[in-house]
Structure 1
Amino acid sequence: MMQAFETTTLRINEIFFSLQGETSRVGLPTVFVRLTGCPLRCGYCDTAYAFTGGENISIAEILNRIAHYKTNYITVTGGEPLAQKACLVLLTALCDAKYSVSLETSGALDLSQVDLRVCKVMDIKTPGSGEVTKNNWENLIHLTPKDEIKFVLCNEADYQWAGEIIRRKQLSQLCPILFSPVYDSLNPATLASWILRDELPVRMQLQMHKLLWGEGPGR
């Protein structure tokens, strides 16, 4: 397997060390491996710079760069990381190296081949994202209790839509559900009041890295 890692390359936009700003791992020192490219164009995207650019790096070299940081937590993100087929090989290599690995994915691409040791954080795109038609609902059967579903909400219409999807598809029986307001668009206190009013079985989250370092993919 190591030989495959030596020769397999991915287009990498950046590798950096920061605090995880979202999900149940919020606050944990984490190495982020951001892959280049994404087939979606969400209106609120804050990583459009990752649509292009980057450099081709072998998986062996990615592992070497990660090893410089004293953390066990790795997040593979994008863009949309699964747009590169070799991402599956990278995820397995990271798990084999005994890292605790999370994958941030839009849910538009097939999750069935993702290593079962990976924590999948899957977005469900709302109408406000502009990409609601890209949701691949078949991916729900590939989620386990250790995975997470995330809704990024632009407005009250998105909130109501997300609540209906949770009820209709019984998402709370699959894994934890995260609600996140679009930064500088939906007031967090307003979202919190809706969740409490309707007693939804969700965890509200804010993007901690933006609270610390401002808008953009801060470090």
Structure 2
Amino acid sequence: MLKVHEIFASIQGESSFAGWPCGFLRLSGCNLACSWCDTRYAGDSFADMAVADAVAALMALGLPLVEITGGEPLLAPETPHLVAALADAGLTVLVETNGSLDIRGLDARAVAVMDVKCPGSGMEGRNDYANLDRLRPRDEVKFVLTDRADYDFAREIAARVWTGRMVHFSPVPGLLDPARLAAWMLADTVRARLSLQLHKYIWSPDARGV
């Protein structure tokens, strides 16, 4: 059974799919504790749900784009089955994962949006760097940045995945000014995308279920 915290429709706020209406399924539980985490509320609040019921609930939203997120979705042994079932139904499936767990079990039709944890998260030592070599052509990589040290770290690691793959640099609200990050990226001609969590600009940064 899946431990589902919430299912909702919103505007995709991150990745190369930002701006598109999207159905979200948020699973409960995470194996990391990032300093800037904005979904701690999903840590231990959930309802058990069978994969078939989760697929039906997402299909009922009527949206061709869906995301499985958390928490950390790869902690659930049922996640690969859920992803495959959604892909079988003709949906575009994003899986947002924290980069600490092997992504090879994901259906090849899914798009992994994989974090690489920077030092400012406090979780940099939990990165599974072998995942950088497991990325499929459509997968995307995201770095969440708190300061210049995180930026320099991200630039170094991102150089390993810049061959045509989408890379996102996302500043933590209240810790790193997006204009400052933009200036660094322009000065260094960085081949990455500035990601500003669109949903936090549409709604309150503290809003849930959006």
Q: Encode CA deviations 1:60-111: one digit per residue, 9 max, x unaligned.
A: 1112211222210000000000011111111111111111000000010111
Correspondence for 1:5: none
* Alpha-carbon distance between aligned partners in 2 of 1:171 and 1:94, rounded to the nearest angstrom: 27
Q: Select the residue among 171, 189, 193 that pairs with 1:203.
A: 193
* Alpha-carbon distance between aligned partners in 1 of 2:7 and 2:35, rounded to the nearest angstrom: 25
What is the number of equivalent residue pairs in this alignment?
A: 209
Matched AA of 1:182: V
Query: How far 1:218 moved relative to its partner?
Result: 5.3
**Alpha carbons 2:35, 2:122 under 8 Å: kept:** yes
Structure 1 gaps of 5+ residues are 1-8
**Alpha carbons 2:170, 2:196 under 8 Å: kept:** yes
TM, length-normalised to structure 2: 0.96
Cα–Cα, structure 1 residues 218 and 54, in superposed 2: closer, same or farther, change >3 Å?
A: closer
Structure 2 gaps of 5+ residues are none
**Alpha carbons 1:13, 1:50 under 8 Å: kept:** yes
| Other structure's SS at 2:105 match | coil
**Alpha carbons 2:144, 2:170 under 8 Å: kept:** yes
**Alpha carbons 1:94, 1:101 under 8 Å: kept:** yes
Q: Select the residue among 72, 83, 92 that pairs with 2:75.
A: 83
1:165 aligns with 2:157: yes
Correspondence for 1:188: 178
1:36 aligns with 2:28: yes
Query: How far 1:142 moved relative to its partner?
Result: 1.6
**Alpha carbons 1:209, 1:218 under 8 Å: kept:** no
The more displaced of 137-146 and 20-29 is 137-146
* Alpha-carbon distance between aligned partners in 2 of 1:207 and 1:135, rounded to the nearest angstrom: 22
Q: Please give the root-mean-square deviation of Cα atoms over the aligned residues, in Å.
A: 1.1
Correspondence for 1:48: 40
* Alpha-carbon distance between aligned partners in 2 of 1:71 and 1:158, rounded to the nearest angstrom: 35
Query: How far 1:112 moved relative to its partner?
Result: 1.0
Q: Encode CA deviations 1:134-193: one digit per residue, 9 max, x unaligned.
A: 1001111221221100000000110011112223xx210262110000012100000000
Which structure dedicates a bigger proportion of its chain to helix?
A: 1
Matched AA of 2:69: T
Q: Which runs of 4+ in 1 moved over 2 A?
A: none
1:134 aligns with 2:120: no
Q: Encode CA deviations 1:31-82: one digit per residue, 9 max, x unaligned.
A: 0000010000000000001111110001111122112222100000000000
**Alpha carbons 1:145, 1:176 under 8 Å: kept:** no
Matched AA of 1:176: M
**Alpha carbons 2:55, 2:82 under 8 Å: kept:** no
Q: Equivalent pairs: percent with the same residue?
A: 42
Alignment of 1:5-20 (within 5 A): 9-20=1-12
